[in-house]
């Protein structure tokens, strides 16, 4: 399948704050229908890069472009959904009032904005809190409200900074499905997250970032699998390398055909975790 042209690109982006060089050189391309993961340690420049792509922070250097050419920040903001890692807005208002306000700011009339707010609150499972102050929401509930707020304007580009932070396991599973649905509807999605196992399950592309620079992920190593037979103690399980999922399926089928009872057959780690470790970044 041919990858569609990028919906948003950043080339040679840089941004400093005084003597601190938050982003030194960043290149990124976001494609419609695809989810891109942005991975790196704390302080790598990921949030600064996201803010530049969202049109909320001007780069010192570099070019941000859409399919129409060099991006105008005001036009970008009308097309982009932005979810920061902290909710941070008008907690004295109710979730419905917050979403209606953002809908109105994006040009919707009051009736349309109100219906969109109610639809989104149902989508993120916050209907029971529709008309209660947002200050009473838990951290995970505020994250779900933040996702709804990012979707108010039917964005063609969705940028999310640690969206699963504070969410319970059910909400994180639902988040993966919601982001895939947004991408399948044609949006380009960029997710920055430290939850690498979950991120790998949803992303189509990965951009690594460290020291203010983006880089492609290292080539994946051969997957390893843990195999344990019935009645075999856990410490006697063996670890084997298999080239890919097809090889793993064939290996397991061989055991089954022989009538050997397999108690455990598990892939160890994942390529994204290994790519992160290959960055050789300091703990932060």
The token duo for 69 is: 């050419």
- Given this model, what pLDDT does residue 50 score? 97
Residue with tokens 């790998």: 200
Among 21, 83, 22, which Cα is nearest to 49's?
22
Mean pLDDT for the stretch of residues 215-226: 72
Among 138, 163, 136, which Cα is nearest to 149's?
163
CB within 8 Å of 132: residues ≥ 6 apart: 94, 95
Mean pLDDT for the stretch of residues 14-32: 96
- Given this model, what pLDDT does residue 201 score? 77
- pLDDT over 80 at 256, yes or no: yes
Mean pLDDT of the chain: 89
Cβ(273)–Cβ(240) under 8 Å? no
Domains of the chain in sequence order? 8-215 (3.40.50.300), 224-278 (no CATH)
Residue-wise pLDDT for 69-123, tens only, equals 777 878 888 889 999 988 776 788 999 999 999 999 999 999 999 999 999 999 9
């Amino acid at each position: 399948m041919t990858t569609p042209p990028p919906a948003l690109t950043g080339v040679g982006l840089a941004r400093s704050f005084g003597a601190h060089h938050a982003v030194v050189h960043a290149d990124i391309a976001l494609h419609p229908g695809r989810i891109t993961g942005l991975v790196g340690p704390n302080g790598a420049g990921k949030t600064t890069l996201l803010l530049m792509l969202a049109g909320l922070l001007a780069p010192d250097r570099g070019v941000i472009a859409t399919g129409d050419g060099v991006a105008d920040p005001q036009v970008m903001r009308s097309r982009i959904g932005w979810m920061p890692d902290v909710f941070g807005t008008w907690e004295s208002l109710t979730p419905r009032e917050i979403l209606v306000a953002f809908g109105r700011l994006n040009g919707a009339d009051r009736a349309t904005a109100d219906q969109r707010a109610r639809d989104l609150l149902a989508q993120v499972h916050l209907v029971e809190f529709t008309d209660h102050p947002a200050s009473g929401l838990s951290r995970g509930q505020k994250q779900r409200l933040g996702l709804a707020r990012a979707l108010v304007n039917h964005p063609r580009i969705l940028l999310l900074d640690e969206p699963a932070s504070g969410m319970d396991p059910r909400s994180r599973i639902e988040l993966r499905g919601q982001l895939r649905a947004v991408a399948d509807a044609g949006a380009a999605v960029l997710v920055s997250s430290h939850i690498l196992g979950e991120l790998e399950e949803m992303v189509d592309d990965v951009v690594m970032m460290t020291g203010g620079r983006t880089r492609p992920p290292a080539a994946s190593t051969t997957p390893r699998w843990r195999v344990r037979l019935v009645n075999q103690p856990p410490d006697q399980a063996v670890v084997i390398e298999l080239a890919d999922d097809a090889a793993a399926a064939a290996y397991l089928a061989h055991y089954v055909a022989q009538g050997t009872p397999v108690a455990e057959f598990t892939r160890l780690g994942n390529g994204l975790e290994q790519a992160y470790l290959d960055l050789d970044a300091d703990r932060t």
